[in-house]
Structure formats: C-alpha cells, structure tokens
A = this chain, B = another copy of it.
Amino acid sequence: MADWQEISGGITAPRGYRSAGIRAGLKSSGLPDLALIVSDVEAIAAGVFTTSHVKAACVDYCRQSLQAKHSARAILCNAGQANAATGHQGWLDALESAMAVAQVLNIPSESVLLASTGVIGQRIRMDALKAGIPKLVAELSETGSDAAAGAIITTDLVTKSIALETMMGDRPVRIGGIAKGSGMIHPNMATMLAFVTCDAAVSPTLWQQMLSRAGDRSFNSITVDGDTSTNDSLIALANGQSRTPAITEMGAEAEKLEAMLTAVCQHLAKAIARDGEGATCLIEVQVTGAQDEQAARQIAKTIAGSSLVKSAIFGRDPNWGRIAAAAGRAGVPFEQENLKIKLGDILLMENGQPLPFDKKAASEYLKQAAQGAYLKEDTVLISVSIGTGSSSGKAWGCDLSYDYVKINAEYTT
C-alpha cells in the first residue's frame, strides 16, 4: 500500500514554492492566461517534452536550458498562443519572455523555464505578457496553486491539481502537481502541460530518470485522440526545502520518492483523460501476463486509443471483439489462445475464445461507471491478460462521443 497521504495545496504544498495566475489579456476570452511557479531557492529541474518533429519555441528553449543546467528557479506558462510554427521570431519571443521574468525576480534568465499553450502559428502577445509579469510576480503566494492551475488551461472543463505527502525519517516530503489538457490538440488549441514541485533533495540525474519513468507510466500512457501536440511538456522541480537527506542513488528512499512522483503524475494524467474532449467516462486498461512492462503498456494504450473500443463504450456496448482486435494489432506478439478479457468483474473471453456472459449486466456496468465518472472518479476497467509473463502495464483513455466530433469540427473564421 501507498505510505503517503493526499494533502491540499497543489504545487505550493511542498515547502519553498510560491505561484500565481492572472489575466494578462493573452486569451481573447479574457480568462486567466498567465501563470508563474517560483522556488525560493534554485531547484533541481527535470523535463520530458513532446517527441514531435514540429516543436514549439518554448520546448526547444527548455530542452536547451535543461541540457546546459539541470536546475531552475521559475516556470512561466502562458495560455492563448502556442508559439509553435512561429519561426525565428518565436524563438526570440521565448528568450524575451524568460528575460522579462528574470529581471523582475532578479534571477539569471537561465533559471527561467517556459511553456506555452494555445493557437499554433500565433506569436505570443508580447506587450500583454511583458506588462503582466510585474503583476504576476506581485501576486506570488504560498497558496497560489489554484490560481496557477486556472491560468494554464484552455478548453479544459476543470483544473487538475494534486499534492501528496510522505514521511522520510521524521520529516515530511511533499510533491505537488498541476496539469492541463483536454484533447492532445484542440481546435488550434494545443497541448498537455504538467508542472510538478517537490521539496525533497535529489540528484539531477536521478530526478530526471525518475521523471522519465513516471512520465512513461502516466502521461505517456494516456490517449484522448492519438494526436501528440507540438507543446507537450512535463517539468518537475525538486528544491530540497524538506531538509531531508539528499537522495543520490536508487534505494528505499529513492523508490519511495519515485512511487509518490508516479502517483502524482498518474493522478494528473487520469484527470486529463477524464476531461478528454467530449468524454463521458474514464477508461482504464490493465494488461497483465506480458514479457515486459513496455509491451504491456503498448497493448493497453492501443486498446484505450481504439476508436472502435471508444465508440463502443460511449454506446455502453460490452464489445469484447473490438478489445481483442485492438490487442492483436498493437504490434506485440502473443498467442491468441492465451487471451483473456474482463470488463469490470465480468469475464468476456478466456483462452482466446468468447464466453457466454450477461450482456445486460455488462452494459449496466458501463452505464454506471460513466455516470459516476466526474463525481466519484468511477472508471470503466478493462483487464486483458495475454500470457504467463510477469509484467503488467496500464493505460487510460476516454470514450468517443458525438461531442468530440462537434468540438473538433467547429469552424470559426
């Protein structure tokens, strides 16, 4: 069992962090659109970014920055313009944004990381952004997590936030996180973004390794529509303000920290899938019996991303044939006579052959899970076993509804 507990406070729950979110006039809607996260001291920083070959300027900027220097003091995030496909001018805008923050905070510009989300091909409204920064800094607060979480969203219906606490020796260590994302890309509105703060002391290499693995087990295991954005960024800071001993190699303490980091990332990732464009429920796919975790996750993600599985679940149809077919095309070899499929607790297929089952009860299960989706975090659980291997993996997605098409087919001049 997890030996941590959920606490309030989001990204400002860990010691030594302040954040803020304001209306800077970047979004036409006038909603909050500029967020800042600041650590009191230089923090170890790690990042995982989009694998797309079309990248936003802020992604290039962060990658270069984190290659040169595995630490940071601040993360500035704007919503409204993605600063992707904006060429050299976009790069200059990114540099100028970082410098503007550095100047007001009186820190080196190399200590500022950046993220953007919004319309691809549009430059950031730099005048508004620069005018907003002093106000943003003035509003920094140790209770500012919600304000920051609200200023990074675009088409999201809800903000996504979490904080966990565990004891290391006699001192608490905390990790907080906020995220945004609804479609991997929305009508010109891009991006999955997540920012994680931690007050543990940890070596840069280990922190990056932990974050990469946690990212694979969370954000890289969700799919809303299969479209990877130009701006996807997961950035995690660890500032040592818990005053616990430095973690420099894998071991019990490191495993504990990584498990908590993974839990934070999974909470945020599931919140994004649940808030998928047009979604009525969260789908969790668990694959067991695989040769390795990567293979298990690949099958899980293929099932969670299948348009046919997603449509069937929207229709509350316990269509095991589509689950079997999606598993088969995931690119992972297995013997089909070992295939076993469960929906909730209902066994649909075993030894590669369909079983008689109570179709009405299975449909009812789908209906109930969907109804509870937002309130009780109920989930449609699909369990698939492919053999006798010892590895397992999970992925999360959401159903495919009329509203997904509607949201994405809207044409506004």
* A245 at the binding interface (Cβ < 8 Å): no
* A360 at the binding interface (Cβ < 8 Å): yes
Give A225 Cβ to nearest chain B Cβ, in Å. 4
Query: Which of chain B's residues have a CB closer than 8 A to the CB of A316?
Result: 411
* A321 at the binding interface (Cβ < 8 Å): yes
* A138 at the binding interface (Cβ < 8 Å): no
Interface membership of chain A positions 168-189, coded 1 if the CB is closer than 8 angstroms to chain B and 0 otherwise:
0000000000000001010110
By beta carbon, the residue of chain B nearest A228 is B329
A409 touches B317 (CB 8 A): yes
B409 touches A315 (CB 8 A): yes
User: Copies of this chain, how many?
Assistant: 2
A221–B321 alpha-carbon span in the complex (Å): 24
A50–B336 alpha-carbon span in the complex (Å): 14
Query: Which of chain B's residues have a CB closer than 8 A to the CB of A336?
Result: 53-55, 85
B405 touches A314 (CB 8 A): yes
Q: Which residues, 27 to 60 on A, are CB-close (under 8 Å) to B?
A: 50-55
* A352 at the binding interface (Cβ < 8 Å): yes
A308 touches B185 (CB 8 A): yes
* A322 at the binding interface (Cβ < 8 Å): yes
Cross-chain contact of A321 among B188, B305, B327, B411 (Cβ < 8 A)? B188
* A196 at the binding interface (Cβ < 8 Å): no
* A103 at the binding interface (Cβ < 8 Å): no
A120 touches B328 (CB 8 A): no
Query: Which of chain B's residues have a CB closer than 8 A to the CB of A226?
Result: 226, 305-307
B53 touches A332 (CB 8 A): yes
* A162 at the binding interface (Cβ < 8 Å): no
Query: Which of chain B's residues have a CB closer than 8 A to the CB of A351?
Result: 87
* A121 at the binding interface (Cβ < 8 Å): yes
B314 touches A87 (CB 8 A): no
By beta carbon, the residue of chain B nearest A52 is B328
A230 touches B328 (CB 8 A): yes
A86 touches B329 (CB 8 A): no
A408–B306 alpha-carbon span in the complex (Å): 12
Interface membership of chain A positions 311-336, coded 1 if the CB is closer than 8 angstroms to chain B and 0 otherwise:
11011110111101111111011101
Give A278 Cβ to nearest chain B Cβ, in Å. 9
Given A225-B308, A312-B408, A406-B402, A325:B413 Cβ within 8 A: no
* A359 at the binding interface (Cβ < 8 Å): yes
A187 touches B121 (CB 8 A): no
Given A227-B329, A325-B54, A336-B55, A408:B308 Cβ within 8 A: yes
Query: Which of chain B's residues have a CB closer than 8 A to the CB of A227?
Result: 306-308, 322, 325-326, 329
A330–B360 alpha-carbon span in the complex (Å): 40
Cross-chain contact of A315 among B330, B354, B411 (Cβ < 8 A)? B411
* A400 at the binding interface (Cβ < 8 Å): yes
Q: A87-B352, A401-B405 are in contact. List 16 more A-B contacts (CB 8 A).
A: A51-B329, A52-B325, A53-B329, A54-B327, A55-B328, A120-B325, A121-B354, A185-B322, A227-B329, A228-B325, A315-B409, A315-B411, A317-B410, A317-B411, A400-B405, A404-B405
25 sampled A-B residue pairs with Cβ under 8 A: A50-B329, A52-B325, A53-B332, A53-B334, A85-B352, A85-B353, A86-B353, A87-B337, A120-B325, A121-B320, A185-B321, A185-B325, A188-B321, A226-B306, A230-B328, A307-B404, A311-B404, A311-B408, A311-B409, A312-B411, A314-B405, A315-B410, A315-B411, A400-B405, A400-B409
